[in-house]
Amino acid sequence: MNPPKTFGIWGNTEKESFWETLPKIVSWADESGLIAHLTTRILKDDNCSDNKRPAIKSKDDMGLLDFMLVLGGDGTFLSLARAMEHRQTPILGIHLGDLGFLAKVTKADLFSRLNQVAAGDFILENRMLAKAIVKKNGGSIHHIGLNDFVLSNGESHRMLSATVHVNDQLVGDYKADGLIIATPTGSTAYSLSAGGPIVTPAVDSLIITPVSAHTLTSRPLVVPANSKIILSFKGTDESILFIADGQIHETIDPSCEIEITKSEYEINLIDFEDCDYFQTLRTKMGWGRRGDG
């Protein structure tokens, strides 16, 4: 890859570790001949002592940069991924805690990885996004998710009744505490804790996972990414809670219909030749460890 000249910083400004790490990255950028741009949220924060840096004022500003650096956890990464929309600026995630599935670089190897990026020694990994269209009365609301969309009966905690069609063919009526439609990226998040399969990012697919299904015959289902998943809720008389990536919450009427498909655009993640998806799985999930006893 071509060595970058500019990059932006997007971060979780509520973390003390963000403010500890930010000056070090800005100093590294100056020493490496890169121009660091900061979001207006960072620049306006009382903790920011270097507010003369170039500002990222809009999503289009991010699209003009060579890459975006995310400081935080996977949640911070998800918020940037949605904000990027169709812009192809690569994203590198720096996890301020332990290793993450999305923010792969830790503070321990931060500058060795940044030096690789500055030298153009990195690869790009494409990740699909899912698109949800909530349809009602001839109108529609669009949402994008990198991980998943979750449907539940919200505050009542009552059972959700959802009818699922894939490509106009009936899959079945799901009766469960909730329903998750996940991407391969999101297969290691909420879907996994609900009993869904791990699907590697290279497998172009969508995963339908019921949450605490009320019938033993309801099982997770993996369908091709070019499928059109239609959800309807005729058996429900209460409002439905719709959640995108665990961050965007919206209450919708049960008369609505939701269409979920693969988004027409993807995001680019900065990765490295020596990174290993399965090593990350082993580390995060403790695979292959001996028992303590």
Which amino acid appears at position 94 of this protein? I
User: Known catalytic residue: 74?
Assistant: yes
Residue 196: burial class (beta carbons within 10 Å; 0-12, 13-18, 19+): buried
199 contacts 225 by C-beta, under 8 angstroms? no
196 contacts 162 by C-beta, under 8 angstroms? no
Catalytic residue among 74, 121, 177, 237: 74
CA distance 104 to 268: 14
- CA atoms within 13 A of residue 262's CA, in its CB half-sphere: 20
CA distance 252 to 240: 5
Of 273, 271, 265, 285, whose CA–CA distance to 102 is shortest?
271
Positions annotated as catalytic residues are 74
